[in-house]
């Protein structure tokens, strides 16, 4: 779809795409973020670096890697860019504390060389760089070591043989630091294992056909790429990515100021599971909102949202410690079904229900309103048709805890 300032929005899909674009990271900030983390990588690997013999590599993780990053809700908030710094070393050469300190030494020197006024912060697992300029984001840099063998053994012990033998996922595994652990300062093999790149491989596999189709379209239209493989992943936005962005914004508006809001990794994981190859944002939202709860399980009385590349890790582990978190997730899901259901059921694409406008923020919807081909007021109250669609989606969704029926 072309930019909203070049043509009017003509249907539901245009409007949903335009809202998703409005909450996406702006292209110029995306470029600045990529340039800055490449700059960090070059600094760590420069001649004279104290760790360049370990071939340090900086790579993105989280929503920036998955293509689901959204603008902060408030003007004072920052984009959070998550990075991994992987050294080609092993656990006989470093303790967690030594690895954290080795990477941190260079990050601190980098901040000085760049004239950053804030000293990098040593957090539980990562180093945080704050940029005090007109670009509102900070970077969390997670020190790591390759850990494919321990990941393989862990998956085999857990009976997850398919993951243990999947090189596309297995070979991305890393050991990470955590200064709250008692063995933090010991030379040992017992490190936390993470696999953000493996998760990204799984996430892309849930939408591989449409990614290929859209890369082909980009290659043919832009004529600057010799093959599909040359088209960068961040150039492609799929219906799944857009739907997740919309759901995250709906979540942020619903829980503004509430630290118990549903976390992004749960929304992303359940959405990717529920996605069934739909080719539009609207159809993707319907599928996700109807089915995402089906992928929440119960293990020995514990609510479980499994990490798809480490099924023994529960993304919903904090639901057990703070019972309100689980209730808030299901309350939000019902509200999202209601709000998006109203709009998706409406015959007039230019009539955005007041509930959805409020849930996505008046400011966000206001940015695209001038480009909607209007023949009626843009904001309306719920219609009977919309209410019927909401009831249909809610009924199809089933109970909020289907495993306890």
pLDDT score for 165: 97
Which tokens go with 187? Answer: 């030379």
Q: Give mean pLDDT in consecutive 10-residue pieces for the chain, a chain of 405 residues.
A: 60 94 91 92 96 96 95 76 96 98 98 92 96 78 97 97 97 97 98 97 96 90 85 90 98 90 97 97 97 96 96 94 88 97 89 90 87 58 44 50 39
Question: Which residues, in sequence order, are bridge partners of residue 160?
Answer: none
What pLDDT shows up at residue 75? 61
pTM for the model stands at 0.90
Cα distance between residue 284 and residue 238, in whole Å: 10
257: tokens are 């100021």
Q: Where are the alpha helices (DSSP H) in 223-302?
A: 239-254, 264-274, 281-291
Residue 306: count of CB within 10 angstroms of its CB: 18
The encoded tokens of residue 173 equal 């595994």
Tokens, residue 366 = 């206001």
In degrees rounded to 5, what are phi and psi of residue 339?
-70, -45
Match 């630091």 to its residue by tokens.
Answer: 177
What's the pLDDT at 5? 47
pLDDT of residue 1: 40
- Cα dihedral sign for 356, 359, 360, 361? positive
Check: CB of residue 68 under 8 Å from CB of residue 245. Answer: yes
**DSSP 8-state symbol, 145:** E
pLDDT of residue 291: 98
Q: What is the pLDDT of residue 135?
A: 65
- Residue 55 gets the label, from left (phi > 0), alpha (psi -120 to 50) or beta, of left
Q: Is 365 exposed, middle or buried (0-12, 13-18, 19+ CB in 10 A)?
A: buried
């Amino acid at each position: 779809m072309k930019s909203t300032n070049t043509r009017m929005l003509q249907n539901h899909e245009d409007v949903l795409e335009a809202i998703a674009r409005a909450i996406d990271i702006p292209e110029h900030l995306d470029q600045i973020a990529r340039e800055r983390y490449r700059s960090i990588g070059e600094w760590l690997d420069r001649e004279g670096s104290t760790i360049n013999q370990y071939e340090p590599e900086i790579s993105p993780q989280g929503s920036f890697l998955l293509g689901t990053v959204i603008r902060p809700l408030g003007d004072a908030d920052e984009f959070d860019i998550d990075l991994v710094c992987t050294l080609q070393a092993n656990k006989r050469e470093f303790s967690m504390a030594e690895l954290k300190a080795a990477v941190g030494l260079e990050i601190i020197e980098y901040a000085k060389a760049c004239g950053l006024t804030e000293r990098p912060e040593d957090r539980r697992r990562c180093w945080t760089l704050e940029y005090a300029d007109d670009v509102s984001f900070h970077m969390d840099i997670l020190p790591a070591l390759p850990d494919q063998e321990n990941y393989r053994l862990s998956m085999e012990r857990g009976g997850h043989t398919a993951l243990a033998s999947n090189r596309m996922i297995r070979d991305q595994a890393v050991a990470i630091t955590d200064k709250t652990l008692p063995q933090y300062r010991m030379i040992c093999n017992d490190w936390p294992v993470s696999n953000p790149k493996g998760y990204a491989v799984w996430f892309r596999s849930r939408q591989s056909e449409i990614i290929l189709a859209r890369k082909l379209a980009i290659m043919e239209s832009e004529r600057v790429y010799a093959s599909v493989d040359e088209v960068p992943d961040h150039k492609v936005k799929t219906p799944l990515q857009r739907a997740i962005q919309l759901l995250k914004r709906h979540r942020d508006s619903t829980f503004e100021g509430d630290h118990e809001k549903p976390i992004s990794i749960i929304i992303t994981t359940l959405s990717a599971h529920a996605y069934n190859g739909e080719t539009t944002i609207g159809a993707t939202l319907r599928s996700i909102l109807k089915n995402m709860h089906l992928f929440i399980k119960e293990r020995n009385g514990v609510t479980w949202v499994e990490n798809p590349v480490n099924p023994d890790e529960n993304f919903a582990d904090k639901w057990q410690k703070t019972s309100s978190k689980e209730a808030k997730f299901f309350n939000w899901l019902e509200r999202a079904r209601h709000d998006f259901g109203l709009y998706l059921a409406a015959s007039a694409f230019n009539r955005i229900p007041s509930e959805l406008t409020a849930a996505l923020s008046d400011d966000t919807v206001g940015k695209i309103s001038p480009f909607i081909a209007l023949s009626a007021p843009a904001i309306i109250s719920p219609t009977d048709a919309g209410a019927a669609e909401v009831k249909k989606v809610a009924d199809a969704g089933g109970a909020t805890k289907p495993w306890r029926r």
